[in-house]
């Protein structure tokens, strides 16, 4: 355990009064809460490097959004890395928002969620539930104790069913 906290000061008394004990107990409680009440999902980390998408417009810095099964509108070939199975807690978002569009009324579901300290989430990552419902991470708020991340709160935006992102095989 000592080598994973090399930047921490040496703890002479390891126990209920030690810093490492408090930090690890916070992380263990978070693991337990997710084990009991969390939901297993697939996390697709967005690519930020690699081979540029052939549909990328270098003048406008945009991607073709439709019929792009090579890059899925993300700017790099493949769009996302291989999925990772993680456990998250989807918290209720309160009342849903309804937006009037030219095609009718659109329901907007924006759950606020949290997960463990790793893997680190970033804006643009995609989460897929077992029912194939897909969300994009819009904001991430790492929660810290003495500069170390204990868990991550994040906001999600539901992906519309007709989106190109639904053509990514989910593996569920």
CB atoms within 10 A of CB 74: 22
Q: What's residue 87's pLDDT?
A: 92
pLDDT along the chain (172 residues), means of 10: 51 60 82 87 84 67 59 69 88 66 72 85 89 88 84 86 77 62
Residues near 103 by Cβ (< 8 Å), separated by ≥ 6?
none
The domains found in the chain, sorted by start residue, are 15-45+80-167 (2.40.10), 51-79 (no CATH)
**Tokens read off for 133:** 């419902």
Task: Give residue for tokens 């099964």.
Answer: 69
Among the listed residues 61, 57, 63, 121, the one whose alpha carbon sits nearest the alpha carbon of residue 88: 121
Quick one: tokens of 65?
A: 């959004």
Identify each DSSP E strand in 28-83 by its residue range: 39-44
pTM above 0.75, yes or no: no
């Amino acid at each position: 355990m000592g080598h994973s906290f090399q930047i921490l000061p040496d703890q002479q008394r390891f126990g209920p009064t030690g810093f490492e004990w408090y930090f690890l107990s916070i992380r263990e409680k978070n693991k337990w809460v997710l084990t009991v009440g969390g939901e297993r999902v697939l996390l697709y980390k967005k690519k930020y490097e690699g081979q540029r998408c052939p549909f990328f417009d270098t003048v406008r810095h945009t991607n073709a959004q439709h019929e792009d099964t090579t890059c899925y509108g993300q700017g790099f070939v493949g769009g996302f890395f291989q999925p990772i199975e993680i456990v998250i807690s989807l918290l209720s978002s309160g009342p849903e928002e309804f937006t009037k569009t030219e095609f009718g009324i659109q329901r907007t579901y924006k759950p606020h969620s949290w997960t463990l300290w790793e893997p680190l989430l970033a804006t643009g990552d995609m989460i897929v539930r077992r029912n194939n419902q897909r969300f994009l991470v819009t904001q991430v708020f790492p929660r810290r104790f003495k500069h170390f991340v204990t868990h991550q709160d994040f906001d999600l935006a539901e992906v519309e069913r007709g989106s190109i992102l639904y053509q990514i095989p989910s593996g569920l």
